[in-house]
């Protein structure tokens, strides 16, 4: 019998549509029975039959004809004739990119209602969603990062030399990102970024840098993807990344020596640590003069980075069997009982 995997997607985020594209792409790569759960702009949940799922279904609003779901203790429930029926699946895969999915909101809800899920925990989400926190986390574990400064909305002066790259602090998919080559371009680029976030990250734009992506997770042991060297452009804008999120065909492994490959995987393992247990993540690294630097952590990568693995179904199955378990906290009211006994009640 095939594993039943619930795919949770959509939700309230600038990356809502990208999440839909990612979720649909998984139909072609996962040899599992998929159970689709869509979260709309009002944060209402719907059970969408796998055979009916298309992008137009959501843009047209036709998804509303399908059954509504309620998230309660133990899972998602659908109203039946006389009682509620629990949606049947073995584990849930969080494919909500951006806000709600990657900021820890859904992770907290799923944990609270005791739903087994593959995805970043609340703590992992918070540290990877905010690019400043990612930098601070990397520094705390001895992983190098690119120089940076953070500006708050209303600030239009920077201290580093041009060219620089401007990024909203809490956003992905290259939304609101600009390369600024001279001072005359700075104000406009910052205004664009401030449309999406009250804080922005400023980094030097490194030319001639080598970039490598590694995905993976910890099951019984670490599972690493191939090392990918992304296409060479100044940076991947929103349109190119949007297409990237629907990738299902495997890419070519980077042509690098064993020493660099092992160092990239070792750095990935250091970043993953215990923090990201239960999640499949992708790390984007820069290599400058032989030095590896963490660029970004993608806690819910586009199409779950399936294209970097030889057998993505095997990877997800293995991870789903080694999800972190919440420590049992006994609640027996001994303290209150002791107070009552002391008072003779």
Residue-by-residue pLDDT tens, the chain, 345 positions:
789 999 999 999 999 999 999 999 999 999 999 999 999 999 999 999 999 999 999 999 999 999 999 999 999 999 988 889 999 999 999 999 999 999 999 999 999 999 999 999 999 999 999 999 999 999 999 999 999 999 999 999 999 999 999 999 988 767 889 999 999 999 999 999 999 999 999 999 988 899 999 999 999 999 999 999 987 665 555 455 445 555 666 788 999 999 999 999 999 999 999 999 999 999 999 999 889 999 999 999 999 999 999 999 999 999 999 999 988 899 999 999 999 888 766
Distance CA 119, CA 109 (A): 13
Distance CA 87, CA 76 (A): 6
What string of DSSP letters covers 275-296?
TTTT--EEEEEEEETTEEEEEE
Of 88, 35, 69, 91, residue with least CA distance to 325: 91
Distance CA 254, CA 278 (A): 27
Distance CA 56, CA 157 (A): 43
Pairing of strands 222-224, 4-10: unpaired
Burial class of 90 by CB neighbour count within 10 A (0 to 12, 13 to 18, 19+) = middle
What string of DSSP letters covers 30-74?
--SEEEEEEE-TT--EEEE-GGG--HHHHHTTGGGGSPEEEEETT
CB atoms within 10 A of CB 283: 26
Global pTM reads: 0.90
Distance CA 313, CA 34 (A): 12
Provide the 3-class DSSP secondary structure of residue 244: helix
């Amino acid at each position: 019998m095939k594993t039943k995997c619930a795919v949770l997607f959509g939700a309230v985020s600038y990356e809502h549509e990208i999440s839909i594209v990612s979720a649909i792409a998984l139909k072609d790569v996962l040899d599992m029975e998929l159970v689709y759960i869509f979260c709309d702009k009002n944060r209402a949940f719907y059970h969408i039959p796998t055979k009916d799922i298309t992008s137009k279904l959501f843009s047209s609003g036709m998804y509303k004809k399908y059954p509504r779901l309620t998230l309660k203790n133990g899972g998602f429930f659908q109203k039946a004739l006389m009682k509620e029926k629990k949606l049947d699946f073995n584990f849930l895969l969080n494919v909500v990119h951006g806000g709600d999915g990657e900021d820890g909101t859904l992770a907290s809800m799923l944990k609270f209602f005791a739903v087994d899920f593959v995805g970043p925990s609340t703590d992992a989400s918070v540290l990877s969603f905010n690019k400043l926190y990612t930098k601070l986390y990397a520094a705390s574990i001895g992983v190098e990062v690119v120089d940076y400064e953070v500006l708050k909305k209303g600030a239009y002066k920077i201290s580093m030399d041009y060219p620089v790259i401007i990024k909203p602090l809490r956003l992905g998919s290259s939304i609101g990102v600009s390369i600024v080559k001279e001072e005359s371009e700075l104000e406009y680029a910052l205004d664009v970024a401030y449309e999406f976030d009250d804080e922005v990250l400023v980094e030097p734009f490194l030319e001639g840098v080598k970039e490598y992506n590694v995905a993976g997770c910890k099951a019984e042991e670490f599972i690493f993807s191939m090392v990918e060297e992304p296409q060479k452009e100044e940076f991947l804008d929103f349109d190119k990344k949007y297409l990237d999120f629907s990738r299902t065909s495997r890419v070519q492994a980077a042509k690098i020596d064993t020493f660099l490959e092992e160092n990239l995987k070792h750095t990935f393992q250091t970043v993953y640590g215990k923090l990201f247990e239960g999640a499949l993540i992708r790390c984007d690294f820069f290599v400058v003069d032989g030095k590896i630097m963490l660029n970004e952590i993608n806690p819910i990568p586009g199409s779950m980075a399936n294209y970097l693995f030889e057998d993505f179904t095997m990877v997800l199955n293995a991870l789903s069997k080694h999800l972190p378990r919440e420590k049992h906290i006994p609640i027996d009211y001994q303290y209150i009982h002791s107070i009552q006994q002391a008072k003779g009640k």
